[in-house]
Amino acid sequence: MREKAGKIEGDSNKKGKQGGVCKKFWECGGCEYKQDSYKRQLKEKQKRLEELIGGFCEVHPIVGMENPFHYRNKVHAVVDRDKKGNVITGVYKAGTHMVVPVDSCMIEDEKADEIIVTIRGMLKSFKIKTYDEDTEYGLLRHILIRKGFATGEIMVVLVTASPVFPSKNNFVKALLKVHPEITTIVQNINGRGTSMVLGEKEHILYGKGYIEDRLCGCIFRISSKSFYQVNPVQTEKLYKKAISLAQISEGDRVIDAYCGVGTIGLIASKQAKEVIGVELNRDAVKDAVANAKRNDIKNVRFYQADAGVFLTKMAEDGEKADVVLIDPPRSGSTQEFIDSIFKIEAGRVVYISCNPETLKRDLEYFKKKGYKAEGCWGYDLFPFTSHVETVILMTYCGNKKK
Ligand code: SAH
């Protein structure tokens, strides 16, 4: 998922409801649908799913949002100056490093947009210089806001080019005065000339340094860098479906591959004997371990590893599992990983995908291995963009001699 989104000016709600009349549409490039009605967007996504996945199984009607606006709980703004030297915040114009100034966006959380505008307004009086990518001079590069949908907790991440942040205590005080709803403020240091938003090092300026959110009855800790779905309303529907499709019973050993902060595995653990989570990102694994503790869940273990390498090792060691839940990034899974699913004799595979093209490729390989797709359910997690999320149930139908 791209970090930028279609921004609109003025009264976002009114315009949004009329079908997304966004003045920044052509400059920003975050949204791919403009004046299309929401129903039409869903129809097009459904058609795309049917074309790609219809050959494997039935494609059920895509589940859309009741209110498809302001759903993003993670908002990123680049800090820059315009030609006249005025401080601006906004998004990179698609495919460039030019910043399109924007104040509000029809798909972003409105409070997050408000906070970004407040911070921008404070920079001058606190003499905080904006970072210039060409001269590498200045301090503040990006502002990132994350919000817990169910808890209302808000994290502000100030990405700076150097660790020195003059009068940071007063800055924090002043920001909290305007927005007492902010629960934590983090300074992230990203000094490198890279296109990555976040650097490695962080200092907590206020609060606990992370936020928590509630999803499907569990509490999740989210730090600045960990992956967490950006649309919690739809995510809850998607995860509930995924877990019900897995038909997990008390004696089952479940693998949650590409597990992020452990969301799906921890929710599934309540029905399973044991859950094993595997994830590449070190910070996400730390959060996953903390999440297990936070929810007092004892039958889950998390490993930091490449999912393919990890599962291959499990298969070599003769380990078995009943259910594999898989939720890979846009590039999809690998043949090595799918080969190992077959070897550990998983009877059910629930595949959550954010890219129907790589899903199709992977389904073909699963089919070769004897896995039959039983159905495909689409969930619209990203209204006004062309992204579409799906969940597929597969069961093993080959002969069990492996
Ligand atoms: N299931 C989680 C995260 C899904 S996003 C959730 O719903 O929140 C995909 C995750 O795969 C990311 O956390 C990413 O860090 C991780 N990832 C990417 N490549 C990986 C690999 N080769 N092996 C294991 N995890 C990987």
Q: To which residue do tokens 């503790």 refer?
A: 293
Q: What's the pLDDT score for residue 35?
A: 62
Q: Is residue 247's pLDDT more than 50?
A: yes
Q: What's the pLDDT score for residue 14?
A: 37
Counting from 1 in the atom list of ligand 1, the atom nearest the Cα of 306 is: 23
Q: What's the pLDDT score for residue 2?
A: 34
Which of 259, 340, 352, 353 is CA-nearest to residue 305?
259
Can you read off the two tokens belonging to residue 41?
Answer: 């967007």
Mean pLDDT of 72-98: 92
Q: What's the pLDDT score for residue 196?
A: 87
Q: Which residues are paired to 154 by β-bridges?
A: 147
Q: Is residue 249's pLDDT more than 70?
A: yes
Q: What's the pLDDT score for residue 118?
A: 98
338: CA distance to ligand 1 center in Å? 16
Q: What's the pLDDT score for residue 226?
A: 82
CA distance 137 to 143: 17
Query: ∠20-234-212 over CA atoms, to 5°?
Result: 110
Mean pLDDT of 108-120: 97
The CB of 390 under 6 Å from ligand 1? The reply is no
Lowest model confidence (mean pLDDT) among 90-94, 157-161, 270-274, 315-319: 90-94
Q: Are 107 and 7 in contact (CB under 8 A)?
A: no
Q: Are 232 and 216 in contact (CB under 8 A)?
A: no
To test the pocket of ligand 1, the residue of 227, 231, 352 to mutate (highest count of ligand atoms within 8 Å of its CB) is: 227
CA distance 281 to 261: 9
Q: What's the pLDDT score for residue 8?
A: 35
Q: Which residues are paired to 99 by β-bridges?
A: 92
354 flagged as catalytic: yes
Can you read off the two tokens belonging to residue 211?
Answer: 């936020």
Query: ∠330-283-29 over CA atoms, to 5°?
Result: 40
Instruction: Give the rounded distance of the alpha carbon of 118 from its chain centre.
Output: 25
How distant, in Å, are the alpha carbons of 45, 181, 244, 358, 379 from that of 389? 10, 31, 17, 12, 5
Which of 317, 326, 324, 334 is CA-nearest to residue 396?
324
Residue 247 burial class via C-beta count within 10 angstroms: exposed 0-12, middle 13-18, buried 19 and up: middle
Quote the percentage of the chain above a pLDDT of 70. 93
Mean pLDDT of 226-235: 92
The pLDDT-based confidence of 216 (bands split at 50, 70, 90) is very high
Counting from 1 in the atom list of ligand 1, the atom nearest the Cα of 259 is: 1
Question: Higher model confidence: residue 10 or residue 221?
Answer: 221
The CB of 264 under 6 Å from ligand 1? The reply is yes
CA distance 47 to 356: 12
Q: What's the pLDDT score for residue 36?
A: 67
Mean pLDDT of 121-140: 94
Q: Is residue 61's pLDDT more than 50?
A: yes
The pLDDT-based confidence of 99 (bands split at 50, 70, 90) is very high
Q: What is the pLDDT of residues 11-54, one digit of tens each?
A: 333 334 344 567 788 788 888 887 668 999 999 999 999 999 99
CA distance 112 to 97: 22
Q: Which residues are paired to 350 by β-bridges?
A: 325, 393
Q: Is residue 4's pLDDT more than 60?
A: no
401: CA distance to ligand 1 center in Å? 31
Q: What is the pLDDT of residues 347-395, one digit of tens each?
A: 999 999 999 999 999 999 999 999 999 999 999 999 999 999 999 999 9
Mean pLDDT of 245-265: 97
Mean pLDDT of 252-257: 98
Q: Rounded mean pLDDT of the chain?
A: 91
Q: Is residue 194's pLDDT more than 70?
A: yes
To test the pocket of ligand 1, the residue of 1, 280, 358 to mutate (highest count of ligand atoms within 8 Å of its CB) is: 280
